[in-house]
Amino acid sequence: MAIKFGRPIESRTRLTPVETGAPADAERLDLPTRMRRNRRSEWTRRMVRENTLTVDDLIWPLFIMDGQNSSAPVASMPGVERLTIDQAVREAERAAKLTIPCIALFPYTDPNLRDDTGSEALNADNLVCRAIRAIKKEIPEIGLLCDVALDPFTSHGHDGLLHEGKILNDETVAVLVKQALVQAQAGCDIIAPSDMMDGRVGAIRAALDEAGLVDTGLMAYSAKYASAFYGPFREAVDSAPQFGDRHSYQMAYANRREALREARLDAEEGADIVMVKPALSYLDIIADVRAALDRPVAAYNVSGEYAMVKAAVERGWADGRAVTLEILTSIARAGADLIITYHAREAARWLSE
């Protein structure tokens, strides 16, 4: 059987059909391009690798709770625990040894401290602020990032102030500004507004500057989608909305162009870093934002994405290390400069082996 540009098998010099086990009448294809040359050995693959994930790209979220020397597992997030501040300090120390550059702190607020307006968020001595001070004192070299949003503090679980079933925008921004100041004054390095109220980035930047906190950074949750992938996080901090949903402030997952408007607005308002969240079902958004803006882009590999991997691994359906590194590299390949991920600690270990 003749193949168009083929040469007869007799012309092969190195491999004979006997050696390769190829059928005797197989012909060599006369291909102008052979993509497999660059893949043929480990050293060529290393040389042509386009993206390399490093520990420098990773931010590790930690859940904190009140109490002393204890931890509580988060059932839907195997390997993740809520930690008391003393334990969080120890984990931060380990993370620093693994050279993880930054930790994101999320409080599990005592239900007794939650109210309609999330007033505990403004307490300069609340759980987050105490954790910031404790970690900064012991491990000053690790970066700290904190969410600005009211959901861990409100009895209704929404990110903002409620009036007659609606989340108020400007009134909420005024509270978020105070929350940001309290956290920045406690020593938080990067303030991350995750509430999706309009105008909050500019308002927070102005207030930080006015207070002399010019070095405090802003990472805006810019394209934050109303996603079903946040379930395990809401279990971890017990912040599921008591009624309704977050569709009036978080983005609709069918929308792509809108993410660019959000990211551009936040950049104009002074965000140092813009974020896309979640990550895995939103790689197109990460790529768009990367291409359109000249700021660092972060992606949040969220709790539901983590839970899916861990569930498959527990059942023996996936190789945890292999799928995790593939997922994280794909997020970097899409254009994320930073990845917030619950896998950060294990990934840091794997990357250093």
Binding site for ligand PBG (CB under 6 A): 147, 149, 151, 159, 194, 230, 233-234, 302-303
Nearest residue (CB) to ligand PBG, 149 versus 219: 149
CA distances from 234 to 8, 33, 341 (A): 65, 51, 16
Assess contact for 275 and 296: CB atoms under 8 A. no
3-state secondary structure 76-104: CCCCCEEEEHHHHHHHHHHHHHCCCCEEE
- Smallest separation, CB 105 to ligand PBG (Å): 11
Report the amino acid identity of residue 69: N
Distance CA(218)–CA(317), nearest Å, equals: 39
- In this structure, the number of other CB atoms found within 10 A of the CB of residue 192 comes to 25
Nearest residue (CB) to ligand PBG, 27 versus 193: 193
Catalytic residue, from 4, 136, 178, 277: name it: 277
Nearest residue (CB) to ligand PBG, 216 versus 303: 303
Q: List for the chain the helix, strand, coil content (%; round to 5).
A: 45, 20, 40
Assess contact for 200 and 160: CB atoms under 8 A. no
Catalytic residue, from 4, 97, 178, 224: name it: 224
- Smallest separation, CB 247 to ligand PBG (Å): 12
Nearest residue (CB) to ligand PBG, 91 versus 147: 147
- Smallest separation, CB 223 to ligand PBG (Å): 13
Known active-site residue 224: yes
Residues 116-134: b if buried by 16+ CB within 10 A, e if exposed? ebbebbbeeebbbbbbbeb
Q: Which residues are catalytic?
A: 224, 277
